[in-house]
């Protein structure tokens, strides 16, 4: 039975260093295809494992808007089968040994199911799974917004250099000959250096700073009047670090399941309220019992909610927490919602306004 890869931006990509520095060139969609596939691999997978993608999931993940989606996917699969990856295997400078192989051994599209199936080459698998190799690791979300295939390749190469050459991951410098740089990225021989600067280096510099967890600068090193080497200065992206910090702070809102766990931590069995529910014009202030079920208290007595009702209530307040940062901060502080709602007029006014907006949008 084929293994379905649940494609999401939080998947961790893992590639051996030799793969990162190997010679190959793919278009952006092909790179995102194969990288998402790699992120879904596990060491425990069977050697003959067949992997599946839902085309719909991949479209949402990559935010593809093209009407000719299926044609684009067909072309990407064709490229993965036809354009090989070239891995140098020499142990010494005079050893020209190499391994050349395709990214996938087979690819099949099933139209009625909206599924693509892949088979990984057994010779490629060790470079993606074996622990004895030195690996580059990063979150898939870093490359998904990148529009240039060169930018994706440069992200992986520079990220690898940063991890290998920086003692504390703060900064790294790397000098590479222009010829080697052109070989690794398979830059056309027709490209002059000004073309490389404009279409590859400067474009990647802008894209990586905007979307990834690293930034870089570069210097030209000349022999005589000719540029022969490039010096790269790579650092973590401070903008991304702030985003990650904010994302970590809001981790409880990643899903309804995380939100309920968050409520359990702050409101389970402590008699503090986290919201309210109106039934027949009667207000019940919501609390969570030791079993994670909701119950309400008010002037009209106690109201217990079963498992199904509790899930519906949690869904509503999850949507409210995502929309209302002030309410979410209240929950993080473990304050009693009823007390704050009744006491703080500004909070109540803003809260009621957001509730009406959510109702108009049909979210609650």
Measure the CA–CA gap between 322 and 246, rounded to whole angstroms: 13
Mean of pLDDT values over 158-181: 88
- Say if residue 3 is in the same domain as residue 79: yes
Question: Rg (Cα) of the chain, in Å, rounded?
Answer: 26
- Say if residue 169 is in the same domain as residue 132: no
Q: Decide which of 108, 136, 164 is a domain's last residue.
A: 136
Checking if the pLDDT of 245 tops 60, the result is no
- Say if residue 117 is in the same domain as residue 181: no
Measure the CA–CA gap between 328 and 312, rounded to whole angstroms: 18
Q: Decide which of 213, 248, 283 is a domain's last residue.
A: 248
Per residue in 297-324, pLDDT tens? Answer: 998 899 999 999 999 999 999 999 988 8
Lowest mean pLDDT among 66-70, 199-203, 272-276: 66-70
Beta carbons of 12 and 137 less than 8 angstroms apart? yes
CA–CA distance from 51 to each of 267, 338, 350, 354 (Å)? 42, 50, 48, 43
Task: Please report the pLDDT score of residue 286 as a whole number.
Answer: 97
Q: Decide which of 92, 110, 136 is a domain's last residue.
A: 136
- Say if residue 171 is in the same domain as residue 243: yes
- Say if residue 61 is in the same domain as residue 108: yes
- Say if residue 244 is in the same domain as residue 257: no
Measure the CA–CA gap between 139 and 181, rounded to whole angstroms: 24
Mean of pLDDT values over 285-300: 91
- Say if residue 131 is in the same domain as residue 154: no
- Say if residue 165 is in the same domain as residue 222: yes
- Say if residue 258 is in the same domain as residue 243: no
What is the β-pairing status of strands 294-298 and 282-288? antiparallel
CATH code (residue 235): 1.10.10.10
- Kind and range of the H or E run holding 184: helix 178-185
- Say if residue 38 is in the same domain as residue 100: yes
Domain that holds residue 347: 250-360
Angle formed at CA 335 by CA 331 and CA 339, multiple of 5 degrees: 120
Mean of pLDDT values over 115-139: 82
Count of structural domains, the chain: 3
- Say if residue 193 is in the same domain as residue 276: no
Task: Please report the pLDDT score of residue 251 as a whole number.
Answer: 64
Per residue in 5-47, pLDDT tens? Answer: 877 777 888 888 888 989 999 999 999 989 988 888 887 788 8
Checking if the pLDDT of 169 tops 70, the result is no
- Say if residue 243 is in the same domain as residue 185: yes
Mean of pLDDT values over 236-258: 72
Per residue in 328-360, pLDDT tens? Answer: 989 988 899 999 999 988 899 989 999 998 888
């Amino acid at each position: 039975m084929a293994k379905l890869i649940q494609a999401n931006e939080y998947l961790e990509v893992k590639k051996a260093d030799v793969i990162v520095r190997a010679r190959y060139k793919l278009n952006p969609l092909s790179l995102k295809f194969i990288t998402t596939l790699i992120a879904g691999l596990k060491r425990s997978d069977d050697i003959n494992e067949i992997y599946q993608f839902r085309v719909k999931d991949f479209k949402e993940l990559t935010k593809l808007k093209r009407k000719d989606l299926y044609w684009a996917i067909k072309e990407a699969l064709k490229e993965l089968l036809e354009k090989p990856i070239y891995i140098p295997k020499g142990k010494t400078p005079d050893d020209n040994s190499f391994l050349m192989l395709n990214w996938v051994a087979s690819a099949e599209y099933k139209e009625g199911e909206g599924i693509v199936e892949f088979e990984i080459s057994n010779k490629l698998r060790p470079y993606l799974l074996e622990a004895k190799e030195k690996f580059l690791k990063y979150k898939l979300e870093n490359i998904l917004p990148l529009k240039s295939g060169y930018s994706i390749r440069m992200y992986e190469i520079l990220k690898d250099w940063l991890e290998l050459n920086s003692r504390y991951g703060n900064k790294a410098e790397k000098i590479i000959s222009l010829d080697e740089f052109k070989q690794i990225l398979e830059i056309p021989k027709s490209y002059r250096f000004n073309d490389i600067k404009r279409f590859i280096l400067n474009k990647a510099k802008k894209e990586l700073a905007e979307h990834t967890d690293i930034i870089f600068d570069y210097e030209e090193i000349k022999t005589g009047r000719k540029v022969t080497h490039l010096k790269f200065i790579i650092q973590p992206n401070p903008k991304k670090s702030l985003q990650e910090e904010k994302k970590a702070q809001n981790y409880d809102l990643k899903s309804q399941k995380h939100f309920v766990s968050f409520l359990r931590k702050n409101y389970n069995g402590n008699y503090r309220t986290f919201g309210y529910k109106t039934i027949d014009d009667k207000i019940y202030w919501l609390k969570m019992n030791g079993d994670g079920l909701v119950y309400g208290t008010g002037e009209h007595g106690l109201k217990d909610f079963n498992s199904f009702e509790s899930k519906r209530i949690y869904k509503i307040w999850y949507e409210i927490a995502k929309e209302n940062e002030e309410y979410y901060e209240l929950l993080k502080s473990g304050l009693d919602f009823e007390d704050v709602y009744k006491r703080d007029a500004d909070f109540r006014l803003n809260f009621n306004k957001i509730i009406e907006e959510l109702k108009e949008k049909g979210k609650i």
